[in-house]
């Protein structure tokens, strides 16, 4: 599932949720991919496209192997290295930001190369 760019690193990471997809559609797509990968555990969604650079950009919850425990969902602040990785993902896939809630200025800033 390239739309969600799932990377498993001890916990699943679902990123780049397509703008225009409903939340149930996004969750179904993510669940289908996690089932194929036989994953059970914590999942972090990067909601940049729909929530922007807000405190609720990252949401985390438990996947039980078949579906998400929606009562377990909470807003989280991941480590800086994860935020950097996610930001790089969007720089590498700028088309994903075209229909996001981000302003034109925020998209341009997001696409700027990181400086050390």
- Report phi then psi at 23, rounded to 5: -60, -45
Which residues, 6 or more positions from 107, have their beta carbon under 8 angstroms from its beta carbon?
Answer: 94, 97, 98, 100
The per-residue pLDDT for 67 is: 95
Residue 93: the pLDDT is 86
Q: Is the pLDDT of residue 110 over 90?
A: no
pLDDT digits (tens, 9 = 90+) for 91-101: 988 988 888 89
Per residue, the 3-state secondary structure of 44-109, as one string, reads EEECHHHHCCCCCCEEEEEECCCCEEEEEEEECCCCHHHHHHHHHHHHHCHHHHCCCCCCHHHHHH
């Amino acid at each position: 599932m390239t739309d969600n760019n799932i990377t498993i690193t001890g916990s699943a990471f679902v990123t780049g949720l397509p703008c225009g997809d409903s939340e149930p559609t996004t969750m179904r797509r993510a669940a289908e991919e996690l089932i194929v990968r036989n994953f059970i555990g914590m999942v972090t969604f990067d909601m940049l496209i729909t929530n922007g650079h807000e405190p609720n950009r990252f949401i985390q919850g438990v996947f039980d192997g078949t579906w998400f425990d929606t009562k377990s969902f909470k807003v989280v602040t991941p480590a800086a290295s994860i935020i950097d990785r996610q930001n790089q993902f969007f720089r590498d896939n700028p088309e994903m930001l075209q229909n996001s809630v981000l302003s034109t200025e925020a998209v341009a800033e997001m696409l700027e190369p990181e400086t050390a």
